[in-house]
Amino acid sequence: MSSTYWTFRAELVDRPGGLAAASGAIADLGANILDVDVHLLDHDRVADDLVVELPHWAEPGAVEHALRTAGADAITGRRLDHHDLVDGQVRTLDVAAMYARSDRTLDDLASALAQLLGSDDHWISEPGAPLTAPVVAEARDTGGPAVGTEPRIHLGGRRGTPRADVLAVPTPHGNVVVLARRHPCFSTTEVARAGALAQLAASLTERRPETNPRPLG
């Protein structure tokens, strides 16, 4: 049997040797770590995104157990296909290029942000609409992305989710794109990437068609 590819996100206390311990625990299983992306969560915690090649005899649960033994928590895993085997920067550029080639409507921007960040649900908050979360008000007030945790926000057609992590991104149209997922929380790196995509959308919106050159003769 061939290997399988997985991505795991694990949260760790930001201290020397933490990532090395997690990486070593995975290597002890005979798995190969292909890529690591580290996200700052707050002043003392980070989230590590690990792309792992698993040999056929290794189970994903063994990786999660190894990470937990190494001191990680809030661990999630997802199987990848070959289309997913790109790093975060390349993925960001791919999504930005896809958006630039689209009709660049508000729905296109919302879909691009959802694809970039892998949200469980997303929607558009119109100007003047009732606020679904305080982070929407913060995004409108500051003009930049805002993050928060909401205890009972609408997710995937169901209410009563124990918690949802929310990212609100203001758009050049005056609306706010709201992205939510059950886990993991949106990292500083992801917020920056969402903000950069929104800035690209604003730049493209502000562009004016060039004036026609003066005819010769």
Pairing assessment for the beta strands 73-80 and 4-13 based on DSSP bridges: antiparallel
pLDDT digits (tens, 9 = 90+) for 37-70: 787 777 788 888 888 888 888 888 999 998 988 8
Give the tokens for residue 15: 């201290």
Q: Which CATH number fits domain 4-84: 3.40.50.2300, 3.30.70.260, 3.30.470.20, 3.20.20.150?
A: 3.30.70.260
Phi and psi at 29, nearest 5°, equal -85, -5
Any idea of the CA torsion for 96, 101, 103, 104, to the nearest 10 degrees? 20
**Mean of pLDDT over the chain:** 80
Tokens of 134: 């305080």
Q: Where are the domains of the chain?
A: 4-84, 88-206
Residues 150, 165: Cα–Cα separation, whole Å: 6
* Strand (E) or helix (H) holding 141: helix 134-142
pTM greater than 0.85:
no
Q: What is the model's pLDDT at position 186?
A: 81
pLDDT band for 196, please (50, 70, 90 cuts).
very high
- Give the architecture (CATH level 2) of 88-206: 2-Layer Sandwich (3.30)
